[in-house]
Amino acid sequence: MNKPAAQTTRSSRTTRTRTGCLTCRLRRKKCTEQKPTCDGCLRNSLICTWPASLNANRIQPPSRSQRTGVPEAQFPIAPRYSQPLAMPLLLQNEMAQNLWHAFIDIVVPRCVCRPGCGNPTLTYLLPFALQDNLVIEAVLAATAADISATSAWAKDWSMTYHGIVLRNAKFRLTEVVRGDYSKLLGLLIATLLLCNMEAAVNPRYHLKASLELLRLCETSGNDPGNPLIHHLSEWATYMTILNCNLVWNLDDDVEVDIDPDNQPWFSLVADDSTRFEKSHLFGHAHELFRLIPSISILAQNLSKFPDNQAALQDLWDLHAQVLKWAPPQPNPADPEDDKDSRVAALLYQKTLLLSTEVAVCGKKTPTPEQVAHFDTYIDVFCCLLDTLPELSLAWTVMLWPLTVMGSCSRNILHRARIEQAVSMPTFDSVMSRNCLQILHGVWDFGHDAYGQYGIEKVAKRMAVILRIN
């Protein structure tokens, strides 16, 4: 009686590991083998993949009996696939797998702003993560924090993984300080992911650390042409530019140098049209991104010294540069030519024009005439928003201009359009909800809260730290 039972058990195990979809094999679950998505993957909201395409081309190595008496060199080693079937131990529990798949489905698509340029997070970062437990933990922490706005269960998990990442990152840092650079890249990725998940708190601590780690990568023998390092540099540059320029004159206990002349990584947004070909976040607006820190530095200077005529003239010079700028002409012969990226760049242009003029006004409440003039920029901005399809990748980088323009909106229709855009599923995260909370605070505050100065005033009153990653 026991023998058949034992045979049944072995048969069940064989079924769970050698047939069915790859996801069920990894989870050691019995697969219903229903294509394209089996019942188990459908029930657990997992990505269902099948091994047919791999097995069809797989060459089996000759058996030992076939090799008898024959020189070994005549039988080349069979090809092996770089991604093994076995997942890392950290991803073998159901919660971790759910967060990992959420990262792929929700977070990864936000890492590019235009089609046709690939997604380096998917191509380079995820395979790297599977070889480094610290990066896996950081991915899980950042994902849980990102979806905690819509999933109550994720908040506790984000704090759990956050504590684990902080502890292990400190240990990794001690190894790097001692001169062991073999895991420096993993520490850099984990630190950038910490910036992303701490956007609702204060990411400047880890943002500043990320910039130092980037410099260390450049001097420790890492190839600067490595596409993963290039992607991380662009990511750090993007976060630095936007996070340090959303508000002006906001007291912060962590100073990040945003002067382009002092930061070699700002070459990613240099005045070079070839940068667009390698850019995944800046798109056609890469030249405008380079001007944002300079505008912010001058705005902060004027807020402290309103009579600084040199700073005032420099601001008008930057305003002229922004006004003169135009996106490149479309290329109908290029199938990857993206009109949405041009629209996104034009939206940044209108935002910078308005932002510069608000900086010139300083902390004084704008006059009705000035507000009417500023509204012309917001009119064009809202019209451009209407041309972006809801599923366009360009929305990835729109939260900063939406927040800045929203802080200057006095027209009810403008506010409704901007609120609708910020509330899109594309942005549904803790960051977007904080932005919307601040915008409502600015709108309720009255005429004394306007632009980035208004954001600063309301953020202090509401004790909300506003960051955009």
Burial readout 154-183 (b: 16 or more C-beta within 10 A, e: otherwise): beebbeebbebbeebbeebeeebeeeebee
- For residue 5, the domain's CATH number is 4.10.240.10
Instruction: Pick the last residue of a domain from 197, 225, 241.
Output: 241
Does the residue 61 lie in any domain? Answer: no
pLDDT digit string, tens, across residues 318-348: 999 999 999 877 767 655 557 888 899 999 9
Same domain, 224 and 299: no
Same domain, 321 and 387: yes
pLDDT digit string, tens, across residues 212-224: 888 888 777 766 6
Does the residue 85 lie in any domain? Answer: no
Same domain, 154 and 232: yes
Does the residue 81 lie in any domain? Answer: no
Identify whether the C-beta of residue 428 lies closer than 8 Å to the C-beta of residue 148: no
The span from the CA of 316 to the CA of 357, in Å, is: 8
What CA–CA distances, in Å, run from 136 to 25, 132, 161, 165?
A: 21, 7, 10, 9
pLDDT digit string, tens, across residues 282-311: 888 888 888 888 888 888 888 888 888 998
Same domain, 99 and 228: yes
User: What residue type is 365 in one-letter code?
Assistant: T
Same domain, 154 and 274: no
Does the residue 119 lie in any domain? Answer: yes
The span from the CA of 422 to the CA of 401, in Å, is: 10
Range of the domain at 404: 269-328+335-469
Q: Which two tokens stand for residue 297?
A: 């530095």
Does the residue 247 lie in any domain? Answer: no
The span from the CA of 66 to the CA of 259, in Å, is: 68
Over residues 100-104, mean pLDDT:
88
Does the residue 225 lie in any domain? Answer: yes
The span from the CA of 25 to the CA of 13, in Å, is: 10
Same domain, 353 and 430: yes
Same domain, 295 and 441: yes
Same domain, 352 and 281: yes
* Residue 111 or residue 350, greater confidence: 350
Same domain, 21 and 107: no
pLDDT digit string, tens, across residues 187-239: 999 999 988 776 555 556 787 888 888 888 877 776 667 888 888 888 888 88
Same domain, 30 and 151: no
Same domain, 410 and 273: yes
With both helix axes pointing from N to C terminus, report the angle between 152-177 and 184-197 in degrees, rounded to the nearest 10. 150
Number of domains in the chain: 3
pLDDT confidence of residue 237 = 83
Does the residue 440 lie in any domain? Answer: yes
Same domain, 312 and 184: no
Q: What is the pTM of this model?
A: 0.75
Does the residue 64 lie in any domain? Answer: no
Contacts of 345 (CB under 8 A, 6+ apart): 283, 284, 285, 288, 327
Over residues 269-282, mean pLDDT:
55
